[in-house]
Structure formats: C-alpha cells, structure tokens
Amino acid sequence: NRRIKILNIPVDMVEYPAAMEIFRKLMSSAGCSQIVTPNSEIIVNATKDKELKEIIEQADLVIPDGIGLVYASRIMGMPLSERVTGIDFLSSILEYLEETGQSVFFLGSKPGDGGAPGIAELAAEKIKEKYTNLKIAGVHHGYFKEADEQELISKINASGADFLCAALGSPKQEKFVFTHRNQLNVKAAIGVGGSLDVWAG
C-alpha cells in the first residue's frame, strides 16, 4: 500500500506521476476531496493536535512535502527516491486545470491596504502570466472571521470553481477545508501554506 505512517501519522508514499494519477481520479469522484501536503513540522504538530491528525487520516491524498520526509521514508524502509514538494505539486495541478479547462479559486494571504490588491490578487496575476489559459474563478484574502465563513463558502461556490487552493497556513487551512468540505462544491481542495506569497513575489 502507498500509505505508511511517520510518527503514527499517515503519509502516501507517492511520486510523480502516481500523485497526479490519484489527483485526476479525485477530480472526477463525487464530493470535495481533501489533499494535504504535510512537511516534517506539520507531522510533528499532528502528533500533538488530535484534530489535525484526524484530518490527515481522513485526507484523500497526503503528499509528503520536503526532504525530511524523504529521509523518514528511507528509515521506514519505503524510500521515496524523489521529493514531491507541495509547490511542485501545485504547479502540476495548475497545468492540469489549465489543460482541462477547469477553474481555480485562490483563498488566503494578506489583503491589500486601502483598496490596493492583496497578495492573492497579485499571485493570481503572476500565475495567469505563466498559465495563460488557466481560468481563475475568484480570489479572497485569508484574514476572515469565523462569522464570515458562510459568506465566504457561498462566494467560492458561486464562483463555480472546480478546485480550491487554501493558503491560510497550517493547521488553519487543513481545518478550514475539513470543516467545510461537505458544503463546498469544488471537486478538491489543497492547503498550500505560503505559496501565494511566493507567487506574488
């Protein structure tokens, strides 16, 4: 089986193109699939955070992010020969969405000051330059109150997005997706940490 445990937290020992193969299946299965990309720090956090542990256990795809987990996989006797990083995986996902004409919603990072574009808007512009045919259904910053979450879910659903990138940091992004996955109309959602900041430059 592809799923092993590191510190009693499940991780899928998948490399390209197996990870993308699973991803494509999730995009055509019913309901909102959850993809998590834990690095070593998140795995350690999950040993102390029961809710985060359960979320990872129930995730449809757990991509180990980072060289630390490649070493861990070797110790486990199921070595990963290559690193599937969260950011590389995200690039492959965006390419796939572009090729298949599916749309993405970017949620997270700081809003702009006084009407200026926020990080998510800036990242979306940069992403659009690279993936010129990618449909960006919408963007929203990541500093919302719990009381505003229903409105946000409605906005994501109204955008018609097929896929959600939640860049809220961990464990906020994993908990947000897990809490709302039954209400979300996207086919899958992933937590991408600080990726929008990286894209925005």
Q: Which residues would be at the binding site for ligand UDP (CB under 6 A)? A: 108-110, 142-143, 167-170, 172, 193-194, 196-197
For the bound state, the minimum distance from the C-beta of residue 173 to ligand UDP, rounded and expressed in Å, comes to 7
For the bound state, the minimum distance from the C-beta of residue 17 to ligand UDP, rounded and expressed in Å, comes to 26
Report whether 175 contacts 188 (CB < 8 A).
Answer: no
Question: What residue number has its CB nearest to ligand UDP?
Answer: 142
Strands, E assignment, 55-193? 61-62, 103-108, 135-140, 163-167, 188-191
For the bound state, the minimum distance from the C-beta of residue 104 to ligand UDP, rounded and expressed in Å, comes to 16
Which of 31, 169 has the CB closer to ligand UDP? 169
Q: What is the distance of C-alpha 152 from the center of its chain? A: 17
Which of 66, 193 has the CB closer to ligand UDP? 193
Which of 65, 102 has the CB closer to ligand UDP? 65
Report whether 165 contacts 40 (CB < 8 A).
Answer: no
Report whether 37 contacts 167 (CB < 8 A).
Answer: no
Residue 177 to residues 73, 101, 172, 184, Cα–Cα distance (Å) = 27, 23, 9, 9
Which of 18, 67 has the CB closer to ligand UDP? 67
